[in-house]
Amino acid sequence: MAERDVTRLAVLGATGSIGTSTLDVAARHPEAFRVHAVAAGRDVEGLLAICQRHRPARAALADASAAAQLSARLRAEGIAGIEVSAGEDGVAALAADAEVDAVVTAVVGAAGLASSMAACEAGKTILLANKETLVVAGEAFMETARRSGARIVPVDSEHNAVFQGLPGGKASAPGVERILLTASGGPFRDRDPDTLAAVTPEEAVAHPNWSMGRKISVDSATMMNKGLEVIEACHLFGLAPERVDVVIHRQSLVHALVGYCDGSYLAQVGSPDMRVPIAYAMGYPERLASGVELVDLAAAGRLDFEAVEERRFPCLRLAYQALRAGGGACAVLNAANEVAVDAFLEGRLRFDRIAAVTEEALAAQAPPAPRDLPSASAIDAQARRTAEAAVARIEG
């Protein structure tokens, strides 16, 4: 393959589970992909190992002192020719680099917003994995993409499955009626809801099917993760909330279904391994080997589907509530939930009170939709203050 056919990648959030899976798929297809830039938050040794293996032209760490350490470690290892930048601006600069064709946005949390936006404004192909981009600033992001011509291919397993089930990835295609996102139900799907007050951080991060970071694991246990995914799906595919449903599917083999007006569902089925959706997003519209085998359906045996119990998962209801409220409500929901989850992980808030903190923040403010990053961060900051006050009062 000629050099011009090589896709030059920027992998933001390179040390996390999505970043690692992306680099794994890229390494399987050296003729098709070159890792041009990698970025992470503060994991010096993790990014150093990636630099040694993939030899990118650029690397960045959001934490400035960690970036200085990385430069020193690269020198100590005798690795030359990697330009290191620091800070969130440094990470966002990689997203807009003229030598990058496709950007994997896998930075976790609201910190990933600036780099996703930078990639969008630069008109890149975006392999979107950062949830907050669409949750916090969905309207501004999609509008920017329309203007810049950025192509957005979702990496999250559910949205990627929907994308695969839609003609040309578009829900505006004739005959599309609704989409159905599946949820594993997390570690507490069978636990007596009356005992959720006693849940410890260790229990909450032990996901039955997926291995993920701590924050998203807690979100999975409360099902706020699914709520955020419903919000993302509405923006990504231009759907009203009532056309997006959630169903519990404990095997995590069917990731989403697209329902058509003729009574057909198209389902995407695959192992719960992020390399499956990542390889699809990287190769789209072609299929790439991901290193993952087809599911042995006879060995799997069953595909179960169940309704979501609202009493057990109040966070899902809050997400629909924010979506219907519109404006900046989803940004409030997201920020308040981050505060509540942090407080839970630090032992400052009971698990079953995460929803209460988030609900209080939603009730306290109804800002307009953020137009840009500064207005998004203003909403975010205000919601965090409200949520912190709620945590202090509820646990006080």
Contact positions with Mg ion (CB under 5 A) in 15-44? none
CA distances from 154 to 88, 168, 258 (A): 22, 13, 15
Q: Is the dihedral of CA 372, 373, 375, 376 positive or negative?
A: positive
In 264-324, beta strands by DSSP E: 265-269
Q: Which residue type does 355 have?
A: A
Tell me how far, at minimum, the Cβ of 76 lies from Mg ion, in Å.
Answer: 38
Is 219 a binder of Mg ion (CB under 5 A)? no
156 binds Mg ion (CB under 5 A): yes
Minimum distance between the CB of residue 27 and Mg ion, rounded to whole angstroms? 24
CA distances from 346 to 89, 124, 183, 201, 341 (A): 28, 38, 26, 8, 9
| Closer Cβ to Mg ion, 157 or 358, answer by number | 157
Local structure of residue 33 (DSSP, 8 states):
E
Closest approach of Cβ 233 to Mg ion, in Å?
A: 10
Collapse the DSSP code of 258 into the 3-class scheme (helix H, G, I; strand E, B; otherwise coil) and give the result.
Answer: strand
Task: Pick the piece of the chain touching Mg ion (CB under 5 A) from 109-117, 152-160, 176-184, 351-359.
Answer: 152-160
User: What residue number has its CB nearest to Mg ion?
Assistant: 156
Cα(39)–Cα(248) distance, rounded to whole angstroms?
Answer: 34
Contact 80/58 with Cβ under 8 angstroms? no
Please state, in angstroms and rounded to a whole number, the distance separating the CA atoms of residues 351 and 198: 7
Q: Which stretch binds Mg ion (CB under 5 A): 26-34, 148-156, 261-269, 315-323?
A: 148-156
Choose between 67 and 155: whose C-beta lies nearer to Mg ion. 155
153 beta partners: 127
Least separation in angstroms between CB 269 and Mg ion: 15
Task: Determine the interface stretch with Mg ion among 123-131, 150-158, 256-264, 386-394 (rule: CB under 5 A).
Answer: 150-158
Give how many residues touch Mg ion by CB under 5 A: 3
* Interaction residues for Mg ion, span 157-186 (CB under 5 A): 157-158
Coil, strand or helix: which one is 151? strand
In whole angstroms, the minimum distance from the beta carbon of 229 to Mg ion comes to 6
Of the pair 48, 162, the CB lying nearest Mg ion is at 162
**Strands 102-105 and 83-86, bridge-based pairing:** unpaired
**Rounded least distance, CB 156 to Mg ion, Å:** 4
Per CB under 5 A, which region of 135-143, 155-163, 176-184, 377-385 contacts Mg ion?
Answer: 155-163
Kindly tell me which of 144 and 157 has the beta carbon lying closer to Mg ion.
157
Token reading at 44: 């010096």
128 vs 369, beta carbon nearer Mg ion: 128
Helix (H) or strand (E) holding 364: helix 354-364
The token pair that represents 169 in the structure block? 């990835």
Please state whether beta strands 244-248 and 176-183 pair in parallel, antiparallel, or not at all (unpaired): parallel
Q: How far is the CB of 155 from Mg ion (least distance, A)?
A: 9
Q: Which of residues 100-139 bind Mg ion (CB under 5 A)?
A: none
The residues binding Mg ion (CB under 5 A) are 156-158
